[in-house]
Structure formats: C-alpha cells, structure tokens
Structure 1
C-alpha cells in the first residue's frame, strides 16, 4: 500500500473516530433521559461517522467531484436503513421497558397484597384468640359447676359470640367488596335519609359513651348507589367516630354535594391521628395505638370496608386532621357510570 493510500486510510479512520466519539457521547447523554431515543440515534451515529470518514478519504485521494458525489450518495442511501433499524430497536426497547415496569409494578402490588394479607390474618387471629380463650374458660366453668353466676357467664358468652359474628360479617363484606365479580344493586336514593338512619341507629351507642351525635343535611342530595353498601359504610364511619371520641365530645355527620359527588363527612373528637400513620387508617386490620383501640373495636375492618364501598362506586374515602379530632369523608358519584 502506497503512501497516499495510507494517508487516505488514516484520514478516514481519524474522521470516523472523532465523529464516532462525539456521537457516542451524545448517545450516552441522551440515554439518561430516554433509552429509546438513544437507541434510535445510535445507528445514525455509526453510519454518519463511517460516511464522513469515507468521504474525507475520497477527497484526500483526489477523486473527481463526480466520483466523490457518487460515493456520498451511496453512503446517504444507507441512512433510511439506519433510521429504520434505529426506530425498530427503539420501539423494541420501549416495549421491553414498559413490560419491565409493568412486571415491577405487579410484583410490588403482589408484595403489598401479601403483606396486607399476612397482617390481616395476624390481626384476626389475635382478635379471635382472645374471645375464644374467654369462651373456653367460661364454658369449662359452667361444665364443672363452679360458675358463681351462671346467668352472667351465659351473658358474657353471648357477647363474645356476637363479637365474633360481627367480625366474620366484616370479613365476608370485605371479601365481597374486593371480588372482581361484585355487582352493586344501584337505586336512586336520598343520601340524607341514609345518614339519618345511621345516626338514629347508633344514637344509643353514643349516649352510652357520653358522646353527642348529630347529623345535618347541607343540601338535598340524591345519588344512584347501592343503598345497603353505602349505609354500611356510613354506619362504620359513625361507629368509628363514636368509639374514638371521649365522653363529653361530639360527633357530627354532614351530607352535601361537591363536583358531581355526594359527600358524607363525619367529624369526631378523637384528638387527631399522627401524620405519619394518617394514610394507614383504611388498611385492613390497622387500628392505630391501643389508646385508640377499645377492647370491643373488632378486627379493624370497618374503615377498610368504607374504602371498599367507595371504590366499588367509583368514589373515594379520605381522612384529615381537624381541630380536636379527625374528619372522614366518603365520596360517591351522584350518577352511575355509563
């Protein structure tokens, strides 16, 4: 190989190396923002670097303008192929990225569901163990004839049975709300009537705890909902508020409408919930500290059922701290989705 040829080869390699290096740096910088865009640009960098090197060597070999132009056109003809290859690679990378992200999200969701299931089982097991142990002791005392007051023992057995029955009912309700085959029995109802019924039903519980329970309707609100499920959710909110409000406190239930939703708010005097755990109150089995957990508080499923009812209707459940307590909100759309 003669000297001019070696010079042309060196020039071609140098130009291709410089442009290729600059292009590679550009691709790496772009990859930090978009891997797919970087993949689309990479083939163009390769073809462009080679084309520049070949064209530079052709000019160095003193080819005619016509020959140089021909070489350049041949190289440019490969650009569409490079673009097509780049876009195919980019599309594939995007698909792989989306699949990986979906798989990661699914895996994370599965881990959260499994963690929630384990926590729920632990809570339920704990809450079942206590009344079962008491029932066993009471039963043995009755069987052995050592019960000082059999009628009282039977009454306590009945109370434990009722508590366990309520716990099982909550478990079944939560399971049904989480079922993909859930079908709501929607009808047009006055939400204020549902709230009035709940306030009347739980007034004795409030009075026994020295809590003032009131309800008000800011405006008449009618919604197409499953009346039974919404009543259960409202009742759970009211009971939760009563149980966590000390004697002399007040629980206020209000009904209104906002941005196409029927809104039921329940404000209590619990003293507030720490901000760090405020987002956990709707988790199944979570009941907060012992200070907020009376002995008859159940398995901590009431607020989870509220969230399940809201979600089933396409609505939401939320809580925030207010002066002296908490404000829970249940939102359900005024109209059923079409």
Structure 2
C-alpha cells in the first residue's frame, strides 16, 4: 500500500468520524441504543472507506474485489448485530432503573450493568437520606409546634387575665417575661440549626486551650446547676486546638446543660479534657441513670428527648441542643459520641490537636 492510499484512507476515516460525531451531537437527546447504532455505522463506514482506498490503489478487480467486499459486509452485519443486542440490553436495563426511580419507596434493582448499578445504588442511598431528613423535619415541626404552642397558650391566658383586671399580680408579668425568654432561646436554636444544616456556619478559628474552655463553661452554667442542686466537678488538662471559642463553647455548654437537666438533685456532673490517642478530647459525665440502648443511636437526632411524653420541662428547650452540638463539632472536623458509663452517660468530643 502506498503512502497515497494511507492518506486517502485516513482522510475518509476522519470524514466519517466527523460525520458520526455530528450526528451524535445532533441526536444527543436520543436513546443510548440509537447512539450505539451511530457508533457502529461510523466504524463500519470508516472500515469500508479504507477497503475502498486499498482496492483502488491495488487495482483489485473481479473475484478478489468481491471477496474483500463480502468480508467487509459480513463484518458490518456482525458489528450491527452485536450493537443491536447491546443496545437492547442497555435500553431495557435503563427502563428498569427509570421504573424503580418512579416507584416508592425506591429500591435499587440488581443485575444492572456496572455503571447503571452504581447510579442505582447511589440513588438508593440518596433516597434513604432524603427520607430520614424528611422524617426528622416533620418530627421537628411537630415537636417545636407543640413546644411553641404551650408557652403561647399560657402567655395568652395570663395576658387576658391582666387585661380584664381579673388579676393584678406582678408575678404574671414576670412569668410572661420568662416565657418570652424561653421562646427566644428556641428561635435562636432553630436559626443556629438551620445555619448548620445549610452549611452556612462561619467559624473564626484561633488557638485555644480546652482547659480554659472548661473553666469558662463551668462559670456559665453554675447558676443552672445550683438551681437544680447538682454539683459540678472538673478535671481539665491542657489540650491546644484550633477552634472557634464561641461556637465550641456553645456546644460544650449544651452538653453540660443537658447533663444537669437529666441528673437528679445531689448528683454530680463532671467535665474533663486532655489529650488521648493523638487527639484532644472534652467529656461530660452525668448521673442520669443511663440511656436505653435502643435510644443511643438517636441521641443527636433533631428534637429527640428520649421521653415517652414530649412535653418539656420548664427549663427544657426544643430538643435541639445536642443536634446543634454535633453540628458545631463536625464543623470543627471533630467527632462526638455518647456511651453509658457509671451512674449515667458520658458525652465525648474528639478534636484534632493544634500543630505545635
């Protein structure tokens, strides 16, 4: 074969390839089967163009030319047949995936080609996450609506009594102010949680010591513990971390307030900090009597309180404190966990140590 025939075959192949790409772009919204058919036709046409160039250059005529063209024709038919079978299977499995997506609940069909199987498994995981988030959202709306309705009803009754002159006790005014503060805290918690879930939590990190954070937290919750009759204890060893002191302090305070709320009078809540296994840790231990094993995995769920009745105590919130603490810790590239330990449970935060 001369160089001219090679150039002619290459030129014809490029023209066929360009035409095939143009058709694929023009019909890009068509099915995968149609696209495979275009690919096979382009490949056969390019091969045929090369054969034509060879026959012209070698002046093949008669029986030899017929044999060459017959071989090319058989190859084309085989290629088209294989493409048809493959295209039918791809289309059939794609339709199976579409039908599964349209059904509820979505369950990934099995036996798909590997790429489609990966897509199906990913969709199933995404569907499960979406269902979990939707369930948590509905649960949160129901519980927060109840928590908002209760103080609002009390405030309305007290306001009407004051307005009608039925009572003139200043304690009603004090009680209304207390309920307003509770509602304000709940709204702030909802706003903070929405920022965490939206990924809009902005951290201003600096080098801080966990022992100092423990001391500040104890000072902030001392009045709450005294009102409940709960003792506070600390065993804080230095542990430097790169963190937002305000956000991390709020997470720790949420854990401590939760521990105080569930610890009986004369019980003790202990805070510890230090370095363990190459990471910094903060731990809050209480005397709540432990958490049922079935509830341990749900402790950090939004609005979870672990109570049969969802009515909060007077000092209770909307059940968002632990969820907020988890979001803040994870935003610091840390982990938070809870285990039953001793007379109660132990919440532990793990954070990366600050570089030396």
TM-score, normalising length from structure 2? 0.67
Query: 145, 158, 166: which is aligned to 2:165?
Result: 145
* CA–CA separation in structure 1 for the residues paired with 2:249 and 2:201: 17
* 2:217–2:253 contact (8 Å) kept in structure 1: yes
Query: 237, 245, 263: which is aligned to 1:227?
Result: 245
What does 1:1-338 align with in structure 2 at a 5 Å threshold? 93-149=113-169, 151-217=170-236, 219-289=237-307, 294-335=313-354
* CA–CA separation in structure 2 for the residues paired with 1:200 and 1:290: 33
Cα shift at 1:182: 3.0
Cα shift at 1:291: 8.3
For structure 1, which runs of at least 5 residues remain unmatched after alignment?
A: 1-77
* 1:187–1:224 contact (8 Å) kept in structure 2: yes
* 2:162–2:168 contact (8 Å) kept in structure 1: no
For structure 2, which runs of at least 5 residues remain unmatched after alignment?
A: 1-77, 91-111
Cα shift at 1:279: 1.0
* 1:243–1:294 contact (8 Å) kept in structure 2: no
Cα shift at 1:120: 0.5
* CA–CA separation in structure 2 for the residues paired with 1:280 and 1:302: 13
* 1:306–1:330 contact (8 Å) kept in structure 2: no
- Matched residue SS, 1:202: helix
Deviations 1:148-193 (A, max 9, x none): 41x1010000000000000011111111122234332111111111
Q: CA RMSD in A?
A: 2.6
- Matched residue SS, 2:297: helix
**How many residues are matched?**
253
* CA–CA separation in structure 2 for the residues paired with 1:180 and 1:266: 26
Cα shift at 1:294: 2.8
Change (3 A) 1:261 1:179: farther
* CA–CA separation in structure 2 for the residues paired with 1:182 and 1:95: 36
